[in-house]
Amino acid sequence: MQMTENDNIMIVAVCLAANVPKIFHYAVPQNTELAPGQFVLVPFGRKKLPGVIWEVPRPWQKSDPPKGKLKSVEQIYDIPPLSEENQQFIDWVSSYVMSPKGAVLKLLLSVPDALAPEKPVTGWQVSDKRPSRMTDGRRRVFASLLPEMTLRTGDLTEAASVSASTLTAL
């Protein structure tokens, strides 16, 4: 989202998880509350990069990048923020090893799915409906599941001593 010159906007400093030499400024979307330490996704060139809000959001000033060139924060990750102590640690490591803060932050986020939402766990539950052809394996499956119990495929195949294909045939 591009800003126009007439907008009264708030901007925020974002430390990108990349080997870039400085902190970048982004527009805060309207009706959005941001605080230091929050993980966000922002546009950077043709890519979208994760980053951390590094300072308290503030109103745009004439010394900031032109409003028309500011891009907006695109996503706020629903995870606990980076603590102030960790931000200070990143600052210290950055100055000690003479590397950009973003390069140090990238080390903390080196697992690609670190910011991804948790995938739902799927499992098997017993139902009142029974198959018309009840084999020994199927009987063991139903005997292994208690009411209101959910088991993952691997756990159920082990408990019932059946193969995964026995479960999918149900």
Are 56 and 87 part of one and the same domain? yes
Final residue before a domain boundary, out of 69, 85, 108: 108
The answer to whether position 113 is within a domain reads no
CA atoms within 13 A on the CB side of 59: 4
The answer to whether position 1 is within a domain reads no
* Contacts of 116 by beta carbon, 8 Å cutoff, 6+ apart: none
The answer to whether position 4 is within a domain reads no
Our measurement of the distance from residue 147's CA atom to the centroid of its chain's CA atoms, rounded to an integer in Å, reads 34
Band of pLDDT at residue 1, cut at 50, 70 and 90 = very low
Provide the pLDDT for residue 112: 65
Are 98 and 32 part of one and the same domain? yes
CATH at residue 37? 3.40.1440.60
Q: Which structural domain, as residue segments, surrounds residue 140?
A: 120-170
Tokens representing 124 are: 């098997």
φ/ψ bin of 124: left (φ > 0), alpha (ψ from -120 to 50), beta (otherwise): beta
Tokens representing 152 are: 């993952």
Tokens representing 103 are: 């390069």
Q: In terms of C-beta density within 10 A (0-12 exposed, 13-18 middle, 19 or more buried), how is residue 82 classed?
A: buried
The answer to whether position 115 is within a domain reads no
Query: pLDDT tens across 91-135, in order?
Result: 999 999 999 999 999 988 876 676 777 777 778 888 878 888 888
Count Cβ atoms below 10 Å from residue 137 Cβ, excluding itself. 17
Are 101 and 153 part of one and the same domain? no
Q: How many domains does the chain have?
A: 2
Residue 2 to residue 41: CA distance in whole angstroms: 16
Are 15 and 80 part of one and the same domain? yes
Query: pLDDT tens across 12-33, in order?
Result: 999 999 999 899 999 998 888 8
Cβ 57 vs Cβ 25: under 8 Å:
no
Are 97 and 132 part of one and the same domain? no
CA atoms within 13 A on the CB side of 152: 4
Are 89 and 168 part of one and the same domain? no
Final residue before a domain boundary, out of 60, 88, 108: 108
Residue 37, SS3 per DSSP:
coil
Query: pLDDT tens across 70-84, in order?
Result: 899 999 998 899 999
